[in-house]
Amino acid sequence: MKIPMRVDYGVRALVELALNYGEGPVQTSVIASKQGIPEAYLNQLMTTLHKCGFVLSRRGPQGGHWLASDPSDINLDMVIRTLDANSSPLDCLINPLDCVFSESCAQQEVWKSVEDAIQEVLSNISLADLTQRQRHLAEVSV
């Protein structure tokens, strides 16, 4: 499974917001700087994350972004499904009727099991989990 840059940057931005959860809005420039994300690209991502309900935003000098929900209520599977509509390892898992071998394909069963296992792992990792891990790694690296 290859993680698209859009998902990587989106998760990084959400983790940065989770690190600041409850402390008010965080400006895009701060998120971009701390997470190494090009600001113009981050602005596009934040618009998407806002439209999908993960982020709330306010314009102006005191503006910025903040999480719309508690970090423990947002899991990686939700984020990936939002930012990468086609996260399946094979197209035939999305549209089985497009494949002439679909009903008798042993590989399809294997890849479906892989996809299910990945989704299980991702649905059990929340932004709160990642935030806790990020704080721990920051302490260890000092």
Spell out, as residue ranges, where the chain has pLDDT lower than 50.
Answer: none
pTM above 0.75, yes or no: yes
Q: What is the pLDDT of residue 21?
A: 97
Q: What is the pLDDT of residue 112?
A: 83
Q: In Å, how far are 38, 60, 61, 70, 142 from 64, measured between CA atoms?
A: 16, 8, 8, 17, 29
Within 20-125, where are the H helices?
28-35, 39-51, 76-83, 91-94, 106-123
Handedness of CA 22, 85, 38, 76 (dihedral sign): positive
Q: What is the pLDDT of residue 88?
A: 64
Q: What pLDDT is stored for residue 1 in this prediction?
A: 67
DSSP, res 126: B
Domain boundaries, the chain: 5-86+127-140
pLDDT of residue 82: 92
- Helix 28-35 crosses helix 39-51 at what angle (to 10 degrees)? 120
Per-residue pLDDT reduced to its tens digit, 83-108: 987 666 666 666 667 777 767 788 87
Tokens of 82: 């939002």
Pick the CATH number of 5-86+127-140 from 3.40.50.300, 1.10.10.60, 1.10.10.10, 2.30.30.170: 1.10.10.10
Which two tokens mark 27?
A: 């400006």
